[in-house]
Amino acid sequence: MSDLKGRRIAFLVTNGYEPSELYSPWDTVVEQGAEAVLVSPESGEVSGGDHSQKVDLDVAKANADDFDGLVLPGGTKNADQIRMNKDAVNFTRAFFDTNKTVASICHAAWILTEADVLKDRNMTSFPSLQTDLRNAGANWADEELVVDGNLITSRTPKDLPAFNEAIINKFIEND
Distance (Å, whole) CA 85 – CA 11: 15
Q: What positions carry a catalytic annotation? A: 106-107
Contact 106, 156 (CB under 8 A): yes
Q: Which helix (H) or strand (E) holds 45?
A: strand 45-48
Task: Describe the crossing of helices 160-173 and 19-31 by its angle, rounded to 10 degrees.
Answer: 40
Residue 26 to residues 12, 72, 96, 140, 174, Cα–Cα distance (Å) = 11, 11, 21, 26, 19
